[in-house]
Structure 1
């Protein structure tokens, strides 16, 4: 059995990548056939699914035992692809790469370059009013405008400007990009110069689509910022600045403060490379980035209320009353509580509530409906999303539809 020092060394060399919020995980909720996103996204084959019961059944029900994702800590490179890929936010990053830590890093970097640009502007204009320069920062022209660069460790050497160094760019999602723009960055650069030769380049295959979705959000809100994905060193050099950024060493220093903390944590987890329960360790709330994204968009001012929001923010859910059997399985299996039972309606109907702000568009509700009665599409309006008031969906009294009715022999 390894001693405490061995456990500490293992924890330092292979820190746990994420904690699992079991109530959010579709596989853990008995729907492993609907979602293997973390397994599919991992470029190092570090994620696997294991059945809790070797027999694989729930006794007389004959249903598969819920599976749970497991992470091989020694194979994991902390690329973050599993965390970003999870459609329900079930995987929560830990410590120095937690949502709060990354959001803080983005905020500090954006504010630093805005302040520097304001000082440069006032110096060139002979003005001493720095605050006025900060307020007019949105009028700065590019190049020279405040810019933030996201870069991976392999490509970090020699990168200037406000740089946020990550183990891999797969950690990035729309919320981080929009957050940088909302905090004043007029140019957000995703430096993917090293990705083409990286052994885990599979992890960032969604990065172009992530950047495009963030641009759609920024365009609708008319944010004064540009999001660019570059994969050539010459492009990166042309955008370099002078202000230093936060390195991974700085990020990880808080997570690995002492060998005693590492040993204690490792002993508590019994040195297992398992994605733990959210309740077993200090973990941020799910959807931390999502709520920050909605806060940012609300703070900068809402566009026309009738405008349709990009589906990445939230879809519209609707139910065909004639095709619905009234089983309410869609609400039962919703992992985020976006779709839930509210109350009984007249005539034995059931009233469901759909809270768009909580919806991650994971598709569980659509997939579990055997009649195809529930549809999610991109038609939700700005007013509906930011009303933060659930809409009501009425489903019929529980019934067996003709195509499912068991006929007598």
Structure 2
């Protein structure tokens, strides 16, 4: 049986990164003129660098708060501790024991051991919380949505405090638009129903239990080591970033779905369509194009990461008019189109029309006929 030092060493070597960086999703990697720096602004540990077609994540500097994974519009930064799926499972189990109340706690508040750990879900920092998890719970009919912090003013994660407030405001804005009374509550103490007086047996393990657990950890570690070696081998054979960003036959870079936003839409649809004509939100955007300035270069459709802007295949009767298709539900407000437009004719608003958000049909934007390029003979005549 390995000693405890061996176990710790193995566990540390196999410890996964807190964040996985899917570089091909980052708008700056796709086009160096993109101005998005939301992840860098949210990170308090200088663990992220963005610029010159590169997204660099420094795992050793990361403090696992998860703030960057929430603000990234294209979901290029994926939280690993915990994964969205694991957080959802833990929440579902805790909800049942808490009589339908959904409670999330930061690690600092949980460490006080004042509440039953089986009746709430723990995250390293509440900055890890985002709209899809909370809206899904709202659609399931939970009685309360509670976030418990550990007094952020004195916490090492305190720079994340405004971000947590922004998430609470975002979710509550969506719930208000839905016309229901449920709201996210942010507290510094656990709800009374979760408090416990006797903590013996709820936290930690006995000495005998610890060594039994340590043996299992060692066995697990050996299995994980084999899996890690296999993953490294596969990664060596994986296509490069350049290959992953090759242009498609339709003249655009590879596109993807923003899954979290899709989950929010599904949750909202389950609750019922919003009762307001428009919604102010950070999740989706409304694109407008000044057709008097536009030259129909279609650069916006080439670089749009989610396909919210697409070159339409619809042919006009006059054979000259061109169209761009815009889908509000696919727009993640990354503002890539705004940043790269050579004529500055595109604007992105954070106010979206409810009807368009839930419409399966895209909005057609009519573009002007592109300017004719002067030929060699024309240039000679001018001389």
> What TM-score range do you get, normalising by the shorter chain?
0.7 to 0.9
Within-5 A mapping of 1:7-406: 8-13=10-15, 15-31=16-32, 34-49=35-50, 64=52, 66-70=53-57, 72-94=58-80, 97-113=82-98, 116=99, 146-156=100-110, 157-160=113-116, 162-231=119-188, 233=189, 236=190, 238=192, 240=194, 258-264=220-226, 266-267=228-229, 268-269=231-232, 287-304=258-275, 307-343=277-313, 345=316, 346-399=318-371
Report the 3-state secondary structure (helix = DSSP H, G, I; strand = E; otherwise coil) of the residue aligned with 1:104: helix
Q: Partners in 2 of 1:221 and 1:311 — Cα distance?
A: 13
- C-alpha distance after superposition, 1:114-158 (max 9, x if no partner): xx3xxxxxxxxxxxxxxxxxxxxxxxxxxxxx4322111111021
**Gaps in structure 1 of 5+ consecutive residues:** 51-63, 117-145, 250-254
Report the Cα offset of residue 348 of structure 1.
3.4
TM-score, structure 1 normalization:
0.70
Q: Is the alpha carbon distance of 1:266 and 1:187 closer, same or farther for their aligned partners in structure 2, counting shifts above 3 Å?
A: same
Q: Partners in 2 of 1:36 and 1:265 — Cα distance?
A: 34
Q: Is the alpha carbon distance of 1:32 and 1:162 closer, same or farther for their aligned partners in structure 2, counting shifts above 3 Å?
A: farther
- C-alpha distance after superposition, 1:177-206 (max 9, x if no partner): 222222222221111233221112213321
Q: How many residues align?
A: 333
Report the 3-state secondary structure (helix = DSSP H, G, I; strand = E; otherwise coil) of the residue aligned with 2:20: strand
Q: Partners in 1 of 2:123 and 2:372 — Cα distance?
A: 53
Q: Partners in 1 of 2:369 and 2:9 — Cα distance?
A: 56
Report the Cα offset of residue 168 of structure 1.
1.1
Q: Partners in 2 of 1:40 and 1:23 — Cα distance?
A: 20
Report the Cα offset of residue 257 of structure 1.
8.8
Q: Is the alpha carbon distance of 1:25 and 1:313 closer, same or farther for their aligned partners in structure 2, counting shifts above 3 Å?
A: closer
Q: Partners in 2 of 1:17 and 1:49 — Cα distance?
A: 18
Report the 3-state secondary structure (helix = DSSP H, G, I; strand = E; otherwise coil) of the residue aligned with 1:392: strand
Relative contact order (alpha carbons < 8 A, sep ≥ 6): 1 or 2 greater? 1
TM-score, structure 2 normalization:
0.75
Q: Is the alpha carbon distance of 1:380 and 1:74 closer, same or farther for their aligned partners in structure 2, counting shifts above 3 Å?
A: closer
- C-alpha distance after superposition, 1:210-268 (max 9, x if no partner): 1111111101112341211224x4xx3546457x9x99x9xxxxx99921343245444
Asked whether the 8 Å contact 1:316–1:379 carries over to 2, the reply is yes
The 4+ residue runs of structure 1 with deviation greater than 6 A are 4-7, 276-280
Q: Partners in 2 of 1:81 and 1:105 — Cα distance?
A: 20
Q: Partners in 1 of 2:9 and 2:36 — Cα distance?
A: 33
Report the Cα offset of residue 82 of structure 1.
1.5
Q: Partners in 1 of 2:224 and 2:61 — Cα distance?
A: 19
Asked whether the 8 Å contact 1:325–1:399 carries over to 2, the reply is yes
Q: Is the alpha carbon distance of 1:399 and 1:106 closer, same or farther for their aligned partners in structure 2, counting shifts above 3 Å?
A: farther
Q: Is the alpha carbon distance of 1:299 and 1:32 closer, same or farther for their aligned partners in structure 2, counting shifts above 3 Å?
A: same
Report the Cα offset of residue 7 of structure 1.
8.8
Q: Partners in 2 of 1:173 and 1:277 — Cα distance?
A: 31
Asked whether the 8 Å contact 2:258–2:306 carries over to 1, the reply is no
Report the Cα offset of residue 166 of structure 1.
0.3
**Gaps in structure 2 of 5+ consecutive residues:** 1-5, 206-216, 245-255, 374-378
Report the Cα offset of residue 377 of structure 1.
2.2
Report the Cα offset of residue 5 of structure 1.
9.3
Q: Is the alpha carbon distance of 1:399 and 1:180 closer, same or farther for their aligned partners in structure 2, counting shifts above 3 Å?
A: same
